[in-house]
Amino acid sequence: MIETWNKYKKIFNVIALLIAWAGLYSVMPAIGEKGINPSYTTEAVIALVLAAGFVVYILPLLVSGADSFRIFITSPIFRRRWGKFKTLKRGYYAFLLIIALFVLSLFAEFFINGNAIMVKYQGSYYFTLFRFISARTFGMRGYGNPNYRMMKDVFSVRNKERAERIKAGNASEEDLKYEQWGDDWVWLPIYPYSPLESLLDELPTRPPHPPTWLTGEWRKAYIGESLYQLPDSLPTPEEITEKFKRPDWVDLEPAALYLEMAHAGMLKLKPEVREPGTFQHILGTDDRGRDVFARMVYGFRTSLSFSLVVTFCCYLIGITIGALLGYYGGLFDIIMQRFVEIWSAMPFLYTVMIFAAIMIPNFWMLVVILVMFKWMGMTYYIRAEFLREKSRDYVSAARAIGCTDGAIIFRHILPNSLTPVISFAPFAVVADIGALVSLDFLGFGLPAPTPSWGELLGQGLANLTKPWLILSPTLAMFLTLLLVSFIGEAIREAFDPKQYSRLR
Amino acid sequence: MYSYFIRRFLLMIPTFIGITFLCFTVTRFVPGGPVEQAVLRYQQAMANTSEGGGGTSDSAMEQGQISEEMMQQLKAIYGFDKPFYIAYLHWLWRVLHFDLGTSDTYSRPVWDLIKEKFPISIIFGLTGFTLSYLICIPLGVWKAVKHGSAFDTGSSVMVFIAYSIPGWTAGVLLLMLLGGNAFLDIVPSGGKESGYITEKSKLSMFLQQGALAVDLPAEIRSQYPKLRDNQQISANHPAFAHVPSEKRFQLKTGGHADLNFVGRLLDSMWHMILPVFCYVLGMFASKTVLMKNSLMENLGQDYVRTAFAKGLSERTVIFKHALRNSLIPIATGLGHMLSIILAGSYLIEKVFNINGFGLLGYESLIARDYPVTLGILVIGSMLKLFGNIMSDVLYCIIDPRIRFS
């Protein structure tokens, strides 16, 4: 791996420079909007300088680090421990399940999305999943993003009407063209609702809407907004006892009687009310009428990617600094240790809250803020590992045959000191998910429309009578954290086994 | 040894300066600070008055524009007229004299606000903290003694569950389930005491005698101008003693202050159940596992073998020899008690709407009330720094083998 890299170093560096430049430049306008950064040229130059710095100073570190990680995971001792991990069924299956769910959630757009995957209209095919196509293109009203669910219904009605016209022999010119084109169709994802899409126009009652299979809750909402068609006259006592077979309803006031009848499903909704299907919104909608299930799935993706990125960055910084401290020691070690000590004395949650509240961060800024106050944890372990490994014979041997410091660090010591990294990672992921959910709950997390569990919990706290707003995020978070901690437990047992011996 | 602690104390100074300087600078350089907000409020007020038809002659005033002079005055009010490092030094100087400034939203000294809210958080947090020790230590010990048994496995399930559900999340869930909102109604839905006790409530049996404010003698009445004529006062009110005995009556309804001592205690305890449960849940998993592992480790040591070999009973070996040593890591955690409590309070107090330190910090951030924010940061970081030293001191006291250098 490292040999391939060295062989094509120049090409790879240029590619990395371009990617980093483009990436940094695309992040920059976010700063520019706030008036710190005046012009695009300046932005491009700053991005180029930063990208060059990245390629010269950080990229070699990353590549060598990745190579040490490769040495670490291909070593026989890792293989043996991994074999042990595989035998711990609970942790191993939790690991497979989380990986599968995460990979699946990366493709969530294909399963849970208000945009259609593909549309056939007048003989042409449109791939609509990631593209904005005006509603007008498909012969619908308006210039915005079309409502593909409605379009599917409209298309099927039009198709049917056209078939009838052709059958009756009074086909128009367009109808004849359709003979060649074939029928129009819309290919919707399995769960055709987006996490950001407000469904206020499509659902009859006010949000938050209950899960659609909770018929009783819906009926309550229908009564609350008088969407029922009341009969012309009150049912007579005889009708109630004989037709409805509910003698206990006879003495009820009219309002209470209608309530009971609505609950029993005996009343009809007004004709203009469109009732949702039983499994249309399986977890209901939130207080802005957005589908909760879609938000949960996208929230899972956001939480997990966020925590993985934060853990990765924290470990990158922690390992680098810990390795430098442990390997070089001396004055640098003393000063830096004091600094780490000072930095860890910050009240973590409140400092992060201050930064997040004042800066109103996006995803990457929030990552930076969290990493800024969390990277210290790993330095202690790596520093201790380096201090221990440095005095081993194989390091002296490596030095005797003339290895450089870089080679000793990356090829010899680092692969031997990565065990704590592996065994702490799952618990760090749990902590990061918790931190993100807490920040989102307090309203200092990801910006407003981003689907997130914490934001949903915050809504739940404001609507305590709507259990689906609380149960869904709590359960989702509980199950995710449980799976991750199963993994953590199994990894700890496989990688850091403590054999407790007892006399009796 | 002493030099170690002196060094630690000296190290507190740069730490404190570093933390506060960082946060002070952030509050300075990010838009949307108090000056901008004041300008916005002023402009909105001006827009409202001009809509109301008040024909002001000054066109600049009408548009809600702010003159340079006014801007300077505003900046001076909020202390933004000086460069940030000078302002920081001024702020630091005042902090050293225990003056944390005046809150922008409450118009009260920050120090008074904190003194008022801090005990509330401490009562909730300390109860939770103590309870968690009382539960986790015996549980951890029992799990270690019965390692591998059905009890150990069963309680491990509980530990996993507690680890996977953050305390405050469980709080939201329980508030929904038990707080009388969607399912059961057995605990109050937040706050630290009942606002209004109806006749139906069981607490009404603890209501005291009371009287109407109108029955107070006139000269006493004038001392309490805030009382309305038909307002009830209870026996806890200082003016109650002056009410003639024939005018007194048994209260039927009332608030927390109208209860007698037992009633107030019960009411407060009733409100503490869920928040305290959340604090305990937050600390449960880590503490139980720490206790168990620590005892397990000690039980494998040679001195335990020796103790067994010389014929001591299992009870003596575990409780007199091993347990004492394995309590060391648990006991040092006591040093961090206050900072752990405060970290939990930001979320738990928000969930249960308890008007304490955490909620004050949260609301000051929402309102961009920087003096309060920085004041809370000062107290929080001081407690954390002292906590670090405290746990080292505890370590030394408990474990004489430890020598810091």
Question: What is the per-residue pLDDT for A32?
Answer: 46
Is B26 touching A (CB cutoff 8 A)?
yes
In this structure, the strands spanning A118-121 and A124-127 are: antiparallel
Name which of B31, B314, B385 is nearest A345 (Cβ-Cβ). Answer: B385
Per-residue pLDDT, B135: 94
Alpha-carbon gap: A31 to the closest alpha carbon of chain B (Å): 12
Closest-CA distance, A463 to chain B, in angstroms, reads: 9
Q: How far is the C-alpha of B86 from the C-alpha of A177, rounded, in Å?
A: 79
Q: Is the pLDDT of residue B79 over 70?
A: yes
Report d(CA A291, CA B327) in Å as an integer: 50
Test A477 with B23 for CB contact under 8 angstroms: no
The complex scores an ipTM of: 0.84
Contacts of B221 by beta carbon, 8 Å cutoff, 6+ apart? B213, B227, B239
- Contact across the interface for A342 and B381, Cβ inside 8 Å: no
Radius of gyration, alpha carbons of chain A = 31
Question: Please, what is the Cα angle at A288 between A282 and A292, to 5 degrees?
Answer: 25
This prediction has a pTM of 0.87
Any alpha helices (H) in B78-217, and if so which ranges? 84-96, 110-145, 150-164, 167-178
Q: In what order do the strands lie in the sheet with B249-250?
A: B232-234, B209-212, B249-250
Going by C-alpha positions, the residue among A447, A434, A426, A495 that lies closest to residue A98 is: A426
Are A59 and A13 within 8 A, CB to CB? yes
Q: What is the CATH class of A76-107+298-494? A: mainly alpha
Three-state DSSP state, A118: strand
CA A440 to chain centre: 13
pLDDT for residue A297: 94
Residue B405, pLDDT score: 62
CB B399 within 8 Å of CB B328:
yes
Q: Compute the distance between CA of residue B21 and CA of residue B25 in angstroms, rounded to an integer.
A: 6
Contact yes or no for B169 and A498 at CB 8 A: no
Say which range, A423-427, B299-303, B393-397, has the weakest mean pLDDT.
B393-397
**Nearest beta carbon to residue A347 from set B166, B169, B339:** B339
List the single best residue of B15, B37, B164, B377 to mutate versus A (max A Cβ within 10 A): B164
Of A342, A467, A485, the CB nearest to B160: A485
- Better pLDDT: B3 or A69: A69
Q: Token digits for A471?
A: 């149960």
CATH superfamily of domain region B111-185+281-398: MetI-like (1.10.3720.10)
The pLDDT tens digits for B372-384 are: 988 998 888 888 8
Written in H, E and C, the secondary structure of A274-337 is CCCCCCCCCCCECCCCEEHHHHHHHHHHHHHHHHHHHHHHHHHHHHHHHHHHHHHCHHHHHHHH
Contact present, A267 and A230 (Cβ < 8 Å): yes
Sheet holding A124-127, edge to edge: A124-127, A118-121, A185-187
Cα distance from N-terminal residue to C-terminal residue, chain A: 51
Angle at CA of residue B82, ends B79 and B86, nearest 5°? 100
Q: Is B54 a residue whose pLDDT tops 70?
A: no
Please state the domain extents for chain B: 19-99, 111-185+281-398, 208-251
Whether residues A351 and B161 touch (CB distance < 8 A) is answered with no
Name residue, tokens 């999340």.
B169
How far are the Cα atoms of A447, A477, B120, B164, B173 from residue A474, in angstroms, in the given order?
A: 21, 5, 28, 10, 7
Q: Which of residues 278-317 of B touch A (CB under 8 A)?
A: 293, 296-297, 299-300, 304-305, 308, 314
CB contact under 8 A, A500 and B300: yes
Is A219 in a helix, a strand, or coil? helix
Which pLDDT score is estimated for B82? 78
Confidence of residue B50 (pLDDT cuts 50, 70, 90): low
H/E element holding A229? strand A228-229
Q: Is B247 on the interface with A (CB under 8 A)?
A: no
* Cβ neighbours of residue B269 closer than 8 Å, sequence gap 6 or more: none
Could you tell me where the beta strands, DSSP code E, fall in B196-345? Answer: 209-212, 232-234, 249-250
Judge: B163–A481 Cβ closer than 8 Å, yes or no: yes
Going by the DSSP 8-state scheme, the letter that residue B179 receives in this structure is B
Alpha-carbon gap: B57 to the closest alpha carbon of chain A (Å):
34
Residue A128 CA to residue B401 CA, distance in Å, equals: 71
CA distance A108 to chain B (A): 25
CA-CA distance, B254 to A74, in Å (whole number)? 73
Q: Which residues of A touch B368 (CB under 8 A)?
A: 358
CA distance B220 to B209: 19
Provide Rg for chain B, Cα atoms: 28
* Per-residue pLDDT tens listing for chain A (504 residues): 778 888 888 898 899 999 998 888 877 655 545 555 556 777 788 889 999 999 988 888 888 888 899 988 898 989 999 999 999 899 999 999 999 999 999 999 999 988 889 898 888 899 988 888 888 888 888 888 888 988 888 899 988 998 888 888 888 888 888 888 888 889 999 999 999 988 888 888 888 888 888 888 888 888 888 888 887 777 777 778 877 777 787 777 878 888 888 888 778 888 888 888 888 889 989 988 899 999 999 999 999 999 999 999 999 999 999 999 999 888 888 888 888 887 887 888 888 888 888 877 888 889 999 999 899 988 989 999 899 888 889 999 999 998 888 889 988 899 888 888 888 899 999 999 999 999 999 989 888 888 999 999 999 999 888 899 999 999 999 999 999 999 998 998 888 777 666 554
pLDDT at residue B282 tops 70? yes
Average pLDDT of the residues in B315-344: 86
Rounded to 5 degrees, what angle do the CA atoms B155, B161, B164 make? 145
List chain A domain ranges: 1-46, 76-107+298-494, 118-187, 215-269
8 Å CB contact of B189 and A464: yes
User: Amino acid letter at A222?
Assistant: Y
Please provide the size of chain B in residues. 405
